[in-house]
Amino acid sequence: IYLLYPFVPVEEFGEIAPKLARAVEKISPFVTTFENFSFFPHGTIFCDPQTKIEKSIHQLQAALESVVPYCNDQSTKADGFHPHLTVGQIPAGETAETTITNFLKYWDPIQFKVDRVYLIARLGDEPFKIHYQIFLQDGTFEPVDIPYISSSKKKKEGEAEEEEKDKRTNLMNTTGYQV
């Protein structure tokens, strides 16, 4: 879920990380569930995050944006900040409802604790890499060097693939979606 856009340049991460950590030190970790899919009119399919604490993600986004107010594209849209996790585009010839129905056949809700945010960046067409993690509630942060490897890259590199183990990945890969 992108909380800020446009992105802060990677060269500024070291300077901005402590400020972001202070901004989120009073925000408690919360649980998010990806259970339902929805879509935007322009054809993007996404998971709609649900939280038990109303507006948790909105409060987190606002706290981060208070540090970098020029990264406000997410909150200045006509309908405000709409947290979502993009999963792909509607394939040609399908309706959003058909695509979502197909996803839900193989989808099990995913629930996880949100206790940190990541500062990510990429060079050119390379995948994103995690450079910093900022922990909610305690105001700490740390630099990390964690590459992101997509499922399609693993397949290209010949790593073992257990197709039956995760039907969602199989469905998304065969319909051209990136997991």
DSSP state of 139: -
The yes-or-no verdict on residue 137 having pLDDT over 70 is yes
The pTM of this model reads 0.79
Q: What is the pLDDT of residue 150?
A: 58
Q: What is the pLDDT of residue 149?
A: 62
CB-facing half-sphere around the CA of 3: CA atoms within 13 A: 22
In the chain, % of residues over pLDDT 70: 82
Determine the Cα–Cα distance for residues 159 and 94; give it in Å rounded to an integer. Answer: 32
- Cross-strand bridge partners of residue 3: none
The yes-or-no verdict on residue 113 having pLDDT over 90 is yes
The yes-or-no verdict on residue 157 having pLDDT over 70 is no
- Dig out the tokens for 64 from the structure: 């981060």
Residue 129 backbone dihedrals phi, psi, to 5 degrees: -130, 140
Q: What is the pLDDT of residue 125?
A: 87
